[in-house]
Each structure stands twice: as C-alpha cells, then as structure tokens.
Chains A and B, each alone.
Chain A
C-alpha cells in the first residue's frame, strides 16, 4: 500500500522482496503461528496529509492556556530559542544512544559537557550521562547506597515527592530492603525524628531540597546525622535552585540526584524527564548508567569515549550496577545548551527571580480571607521556601481547582491526596515566567470565590 508517510514505493518493496527471495511481505511473518496472526485491523480509512493537519489542528485548539501556579516536580521556566535551535539539528535530533560510541564524537562530547556541568552545579566529582527521570534517579541512588553499605534500610523525608517515593518502593519490591519515613515537623524533616529512626541498618538518608511542599529542609543539620550513622546522604535537588541554594557537596551529600526538566525542557504533560546523578569519586564504580570520558587517540588528539563500562549490564550482566543501558540524550542536550547559555550568573539571576516571584505571590495573597499559609512564619528565615509554597484553603480544594480552571487559572498542586494532615492544602508555584497580571488574576479569583463562604 502506498502512502505519503512511508518512504518505500510498491516497486521498492517488490525489488527488496525479489532480492531476498520472498514472495510477499506477509511471508516475513510466517514464523508466527497462523492463529496468532491478526489480519483484521478495524481502522478508519487513511487521511491525506491535509486532512491529518486539519484534524490535529482541531485537537490542539482544545488546549486552553492557563495562568499556571502548578509545580509539583514539573516547572514552567523560560526556554531560550537557542535550546531548540541546537537540539533540532538532525545529527542530534534523530540519533539514538550510540552503541559504537566512539564513532559518535559529537554526541559523546555533548554528554561529557552535560556531565561536567552537573558536577559544577552539585559540587560532586563524577556525573553520569543521565537517567530516565528524577524518580528513577532516586531509586538508583538508593540501590548504590545499599550496594556500598550492605545495609537494608532507606530513610526518606516525609515530604519527598510522593511519586519519587512510590517509584523507589517499586524498585525495592520483592527485596528485603525497606523504606523508613523520617517524620516531619512544620513542613520539613524533624532532626530529632531522624536521630531516633536512624540506625546501623540505614544505607542512606534521602533529603529533598526543596521538598514537595516547596520548603527548604535543614539539610546542613540532617546530612551529618546520616554520616555519623555510616549511611550515605542522598540529596534530591531542583537544579534550577542551585544558582541560589547550597550545592549538595557543601552540606555533605555523597550522591546528588534530581529532575533536570527545569533546565530548558518543556513540561509537556509531565514528560519526558531528565534524571541526573552525581557522586563522590570513590562511588564512581558503583554508579549506574553510561559515563562519557575524555581520552587521547594514538596521535595524541583529544577524543571522547564511554568509560567504566564494566559496571554496565552488557558486560557485567546480572552483577551490573543497573539494567539501564541508555540515557535521556536529547533532554540532556537541551539542559546543556540551557546551562551554557545561562552560565553561573544567569542561573543565579533565574534563582533569585524564582525566589522573589514566589515570595511576592505569597505576600499578595496574605490578607485574603480563606487563604492561609499552611505553616506559621512561611517565607521567614525560619521557614524558607524556593519557588513553591503550601497554603491552606477554607474550602474544598478540588472544587476550587475546577472553578479556577474555568477562569483560566492553574491553581496549584493538591497536597491532601498525598498527605492527610494537609487536607484542602495546595502547593502554589511562581517562577520567572509568572507575571504581575497572573498574580493579580489569581488574587482576584481567590478574593471573589472565598468571600461569602
């Protein structure tokens, strides 16, 4: 069947079949038992390219842009045009993870730059070529800690992203390994609670920064407790916050992971993501994932390779550090272009803008009856947050979210669904993309909706 969407004409197909000595394309599926072959596909008739474009355009017109205050692990940040310009080069856009890696020098160089920047951001020694997303990166870091310490418990902050925790528990299911929750107090991990729960069974302590509520955890106090107990400190950070917050190495993280989506990747309904991982040098042979390295060829010229491959499953099989044999190449490239463009000064500016916009938003909402900060002193030095903050509503949060959407506002992330103590609470997010008009629209909506309730 000839269609404009497939590259081969009928005569191309005929020539190929003749060359390999096969009568028809169907014969190529001859090894599948007849009973399992499905010849009856009930599909609509094919559309022309013009009809397809019209159909997609109609679907796309159902999108309603919202003044969005939603975060929850996926953030709206400005993506400079240079990011797409570099990523859409066909050499990058269409290529897959290189298996004859040394032939793909451009790809390897880009990965090496990405790794170098992740090390610069986190302050740690070695980074890998990236993992699927923040959630799986947390799970892989936990498994690293288990292999290193040979201990069975992973302690996690209560307000770690709930999806990350679920993914971690999935990775650990079927094993004797256990997730132990560090209790929270006033929205962050309780130091005394950690000291009570940590023991010599603890392989790692997982510390988000900021946490799912947007609040900053007392990581400078928490990480040393892990160290003293002989556990690894795993920092889970928002990379765009690292322009203004302490680098994980500064507070003693052994491994730093997180979701790289804020770095030049559109939110896109929640994916694709970009898991990053960096670690201390002595943990490098324990790391999962591909690692690009710099080397010299026989003529002394610099080149790039995939290195420390004996960790990986194509060599080590069941003893490999992970079964991952790929990375998020295009997303890592986008992050690399973004970071190269922003530089340290740019990242500091973005971080500062995020801090300012979110704190301004909270201030603009204070005084609106029916909206309270979820914790006392929110935004003060005692209870700092980055670009997200939790508020408690005097009404049903779900209903309010729907009403807000009708008016073109993405109200925030429901917290009650994950944390029973936070019923009718929302996490609101404001970034450098949030305008004064957005905030006024939000404040106006809340004032109208919550007065007279």
Chain B
C-alpha cells in the first residue's frame, strides 16, 4: 500500500507539496517512485527560476525512463535538494522526507485549492 500523508497536497501528475512551510517543499509520491523503480539521476531546476503551475521543471531518471516533474504551484524555485546528486536513491527510499526535490516560494496561494488532498489522491490512484 503506497503511503499518502494527510498533511500534504497532491497534483494529478503525482507530485506532492507541503502547504505548511514556506518555501514549500515538492517531491514525487510513494506510488510514483515505485512505478519508476530505481532512480539513478535527478535533473534539478536552477534556484531562482520562475515556474508556473503545471510547468515541467525537473526530470527524474530511472534506467529506462525519464519522467518530467511538474510544478504543483506557480512561483520561484527557492532551493533544490543537493543530496540527490550523490544519492538519487533517496527519492525511492524516502520520497516525502529526504527525497524532496525542490522548494517553491509561492506567488499565488489561491492555487492551492486546485490540488488534491490525500483522500482525493488515494481515490484517483
């Protein structure tokens, strides 16, 4: 059973975002990492880059596939998880914790309601 923490919000494209802290951390869900299997490389966005909701801004690579990661909300990339350079497997091991990808300074808090809560995401998958 894939884990879907209740305090996070989810995009239909299988990203999670933490509404509780600003800048808001973003990653991919437990279900997503399981489907991708062993992740070998993460192409992170540049800090300072402006993104819009739904824009592809990051790529997660496993041996046979490269998956786009989409910004769940609009804003500026505040920080990226530098640990993933040496240890991309953190995304598999701890997708909601140490495997976070990047954080966003939100430009429009009104975008959050569009996202799914844990129940809706569970229903979808």
Residues of A within 8 A of B (CB): 285, 309-310, 315-316, 319
Interface residue? B47 (CB, 8 A): no
Indicate if B61 sits at the interface (CB-CB under 8 A): yes
Q: How many residues of B contact A (CB 8 A)?
A: 8
Within 8 Å by CB of B41, from A285, A315, A316, lies A285
Query: Which of B43, B65, B66 has the most A CB atoms < 10 Å from its CB?
Result: B66
Shortest C-beta distance, B3 to chain A (Å), equals: 26
B64 CB contacts on chain A under 8 angstroms: 309, 315
For A320, the closest partner residue in chain B by CB is B66
CB-defined contacts of A316 to chain B, threshold 8 Å? 66
Residues of B within 8 A of A310 (CB): 41, 59, 61, 65-66
Q: A315 to B60, alpha carbons, bound, how many Å?
A: 12
B46 CB to nearest chain A CB (Å): 10
For the complex formed, measure the closest distance between the CB of A72 and the CB atoms of chain B, giving whole angstroms: 41
Residue of B nearest to A311 (CB): B66
Complex CA gap A309/B61 in Å reads 10
Excluding A310-B61, A319-B66, 9 further A-B contacts by CB distance (< 8 Å) are: A285-B41, A285-B43, A309-B63, A309-B64, A310-B41, A310-B59, A310-B66, A315-B66, A319-B59
Report which B residues bind A (CB closer than 8 A): 41, 43, 59, 61, 63-66
Shortest CB–CB separation between residue A317 and chain B, in angstroms? 9
Tell me the complex Cα distance, A324–B43, Å.
Answer: 22
Contacts of A319 in B (CB 8 A): 59, 66
CB-defined A-B contacts under 8 Å, sample of 15: A285-B41, A285-B43, A309-B63, A309-B64, A310-B41, A310-B59, A310-B61, A310-B65, A310-B66, A315-B64, A315-B65, A315-B66, A316-B66, A319-B59, A319-B66
Q: Which residue of B41, B43, B63 has the most chain A CB atoms within 10 A of its CB atom? A: B63
Closest to B46 in A: A150
Which partner residue on chain B sits nearest A314 by CB separation? Answer: B64
Contacts of B65 in A (CB 8 A): 310, 315
Q: Which residues does chain A contribute within 8 Å of B61, judged by CB atoms?
A: 310
Q: In the complex, how many angstroms separate the beta carbon of B60 from the nearest chain A beta carbon? A: 10
Whole-angstrom CA separation of A18 from B66 in the bound complex: 45
Which residue of chain A lies nearest to B67 when distances are taken between CB atoms in the complex? A310
Closest to B40 in A: A310
Give Cα distance in the complex from A316 to B41, angstroms: 14
In the complex formed, the residue of B with least CB distance to A307 is: B63
A316 to B68, CA, bound (A): 10
Residues on the A chain within 8 Å of B59, using CB: 310, 319
Bound together, the chains give a CA A319 to CA B41 distance in angstroms of 16
Chain B's closest residue to A308 (CB) is B41
Q: Which residue of chain B has its CB nearest to the CB of A317?
A: B66
A285: chain B residues within 8 A (beta carbon): 41, 43
Report the separation of the CA atoms of residues A310 and B61 in the bound assembly, to the nearest whole angstrom.
7
Cα A285 to Cα B64 with chains together (Å): 15
CB of A45, distance to nearest CB on chain B (Å) = 52
* Residue ID in chain B nearest A312 by CB atoms: B66
Residue of B nearest to A305 (CB): B63
Q: How far is the CA of A32 from the CA of B68 in the complex (A)?
A: 39
- B65 CB to closest chain A CB, in angstroms? 6
What's the Cα separation between A316 and B62 when bound, in Å? Answer: 12
**A341 CA to B61 CA in the complex, in Å?**
39
**Nearest B residue to A150 by beta-carbon distance?**
B46
**Chain B's nearest CB lies how many Å from the CB of A296?**
15
- Shortest Cβ-Cβ A-B pairs, 5 listed: A310-B66, A310-B61, A316-B66, A315-B66, A315-B65
Closest Cβ of chain A: how far from B106's Cβ, in Å?
Answer: 26
Closest-CB distance, A309 to chain B (whole angstroms): 7
Q: How far is the CB of B79 from chain A (nearest CB, A)?
A: 21
Which residues of the partner chain A approach B41 to less than 8 Å between Cβ atoms? 285, 310
- What are the residues of chain A within 8 A of B66 when measuring CB–CB? 310, 315-316, 319
Name the distance in Å between B87's Cβ and chain A's nearest Cβ.
17
What's the Cα separation between A309 and B64 when bound, in Å?
A: 7
Q: How distant is the Cα of A285 from the Cα of B66 in the complex, in angstroms?
A: 13
The interface residues of chain B lying within 8 Å CB-to-CB of A309 are: 63-64
How far apart sit A256 and B74, CA to CA, in the bound complex (Å)? Answer: 40
Within the assembled complex, what's the spacing in Å between the Cα atoms of A319 and B59? 11
- The smallest C-beta distance from B1 to any residue of chain A, in angstroms, reads 29
- Distance of B20 from chain A, by nearest CB (Å): 33
Q: Contacts of B63 on A, CB cut-off 8 Å?
A: 309
| Closest beta carbon of chain A to B109's beta carbon, Å | 31
**A309-B65 Cα distance, complex, nearest whole Å:** 9
Q: For the complex, give the distance between the alpha carbons of A99 and B66 in Å.
A: 18
A315 to B41, CA, bound (A): 14
CA distance A316 to B67 in the complex (A): 9
Q: Give complex CA distance A316, B65 in Å.
A: 8
B99 to chain A, nearest CB (A): 18
Smallest CB gap from B63: residue in A: A309
- Of chain A, the residue at the smallest CB distance from B56 is A319
Q: Which residues of B contact A315 (CB under 8 A)?
A: 64-66
Whole-angstrom CA separation of A310 from B68 in the bound complex: 12
A112 to B81 Cα, complex, angstroms: 33
- In angstroms, Cα B59 to Cα A316, docked, is 10
